[in-house]
Copies of this chain bind each other. A is one copy, B any other.
């Protein structure tokens, strides 16, 4: 599998990279970075550090968008720490970013192997929207896209209705959902039901080696935020769950094929991912995406632990 990752590390982005790098059959053709959990300067540095930590310092990292298409950027330092990795000092990488932008790197990767590259997009969708602007044929050039984003049938996490990645660039998300990708949406609908059990977090602490220990250290910060928000010792696993679904679509045990739109103009609902879920939904000229509604949580947590060993 040839995978291009677009991300904003970010603690759960780190776990997604850990998951992918643990699979020897995965060829990481490139990593793009974007603002989101922190500034693009910080997320780019973190992507390089994490690829070193996870034993893949050779993977090219391309710095992407530093701001959303339209709105001003907002970051998530309270969730991910001032350095985006729980304020844990992850050793600096020797590698530097490529000279091309994330959007250009994605387009080049897709053109170089038409129909073979999968995209994992776990940050704001700005880079993907820019790539579509550079190459309108992108939905035919890549094989499929798995997006972590949206909250279709559940509350949001940054507003009552909007999920962070979508809220961070609603226009970009709307562009991507309209584009006609073979697109799987791993939204809060499933990620908030696949939260880490305390026992799993405890087991992680028993693993040895830099890979597991450093991950566990910055995960503690994330667990701290979620434990306060949810009232129990846990954390969401948004991005690694999307990575796991990309590697094994069978992890998504239930899904709906529905057109999804992003509300751009609401007073209360900007950033809301809208799908017509009525049983008598009318035909729609927007291409459907695959909204994952159930996942095999147990299998995911087993594999996530294995990926950190």
* Chain B CB within 8 A of A144 CB: no
Chain A 269-283 against B: per-residue CB contact (8 Å), 1 yes, 0 no?
Answer: 110101111111100
Q: When the two chains form their complex, are residues A274 and B229 in contact, meaning their CB atoms are under 8 A apart?
A: no
* Chain B CB within 8 A of A161 CB: yes
Contact for A267 among B161, B228, B265, CB less than 8 A? B265
Contact for A268 among B274, B277, B280, CB less than 8 A? B274
* Chain B CB within 8 A of A287 CB: no
* Chain B CB within 8 A of A209 CB: no
Q: When the two chains form their complex, are residues B231 and A278 in contact, meaning their CB atoms are under 8 A apart?
A: no
Q: When the two chains form their complex, are residues B276 and A269 in contact, meaning their CB atoms are under 8 A apart?
A: no
For the complex, would chain A's binding face be called helix, strand, loop or mixed by DSSP majority? loop
Binds B, one of A35-43, A49-57, A152-160, A179-187: A152-160
Chain A 218-258 against B: per-residue CB contact (8 Å), 1 yes, 0 no?
Answer: 00000000001111000000000000000000000000000
Copies of this chain assembled into the complex? 2
Q: Smallest CB–CB gap between A223 and chain B, Å? A: 15
A280 / chain B contacts, CB cutoff of 8 Å:
228-230
* Chain B CB within 8 A of A261 CB: yes
Known: A160-B281, A279-B229, A281-B160. A263 touches B269 (CB 8 A): yes
Q: Smallest CB–CB gap between A297 and chain B, Å? A: 19
A267 / chain B contacts, CB cutoff of 8 Å:
263-266
Known: A229-B280, A231-B279, A279-B229. A160 touches B269 (CB 8 A): no
A280 to B236, CA, bound (A): 15
What 6 pairs between A and B have smallest CB-CB spacing? A266-B266, A160-B276, A269-B269, A229-B280, A155-B277, A268-B274
Interface residues of A (CB under 8 A from B): 153, 155-157, 160-161, 228-231, 261, 263-270, 272, 274-281
